[in-house]
Amino acid sequence: MNPEEWITVGRIVAPQGLRGEVRIYPESDFPERFQVPGQRWILRSGAEEPESLDLVSGRFLPTKGLYVVQFAQIGDRTAAESLRGAQLLVAASDRPPLEPGEFHYFDLIGLTVIDQASQSPIGTVVNLLSAGNDLLEVEPCEVPAGSPKKTKRLLIPFVEAIVPVVDLTNQRLEITPPPGLLDL
């Protein structure tokens, strides 16, 4: 499997009930990927190639932040259990268009975080967490010898006031952190 051809949009975390439904933790802001019937691709744990399944139905559980979906080929709990840990994939060419100021999650991962005022590197984006507003999880840069080393990852609110520049072409984003944000 060529990872550049596929995008993970969710992970199957558990079976739901006895009729083969599965719970999916979404990694996408596009609910149609979990609710609109049609062909889907999954990559089972340890498999090298994705396999096709037909999504029959899906619904969102707002209290859990999960989707419950039914695939045509999965008819009982045992078959659903075999999907635990599998990734739900879409072709990279199937990226929905975005409005200005919107970004795909996976485009942010790996970007270098720069302090806009000093132009000094802060770290690298390693994750995007949802907590009301999205939070960039940033692995701090190596620090020079003798400087106090930050061992904890930084959480930076992904809002325009703090992250005014996202430059995907140059693989960087610039931040204007309020006082104390980087000292946590």
**pLDDT in single tens digits along all 184 residues of the chain:** 555 688 888 999 999 999 999 999 998 878 899 999 999 999 998 898 999 999 999 999 999 889 999 999 999 999 999 999 999 998 877 777 778 877 877 788 899 999 999 999 999 999 888 767 788 999 998 655 555 555 688 999 999 999 999 998 899 999 999 988 887 5
Taking residue 62's Cβ as centre, other Cβ atoms within 10 Å add up to 6
Instruction: Give the integer Cα–Cα distance in Å for 141 and 179.
Output: 19
pTM over 0.75: no
Structural contact between residues 173 and 113, judged by C-beta atoms closer than 8 angstroms: yes
Q: What residues pair up with 67 in beta bridges, in sequence order?
A: 24, 60
- Tell me the pLDDT tens digit for each residue of 61-74: 999 889 999 999 99
- Residues sharing a CB contact under 8 Å with residue 135, sequence separation 6 or more, in sequence order: 128, 129, 155, 156, 157, 158
- Domains in the chain, CATH or no CATH each: 3-94 (2.40.30.60), 105-183 (2.30.30.240)
Q: How far apart are CA 113 and CA 90, in angstroms?
A: 28
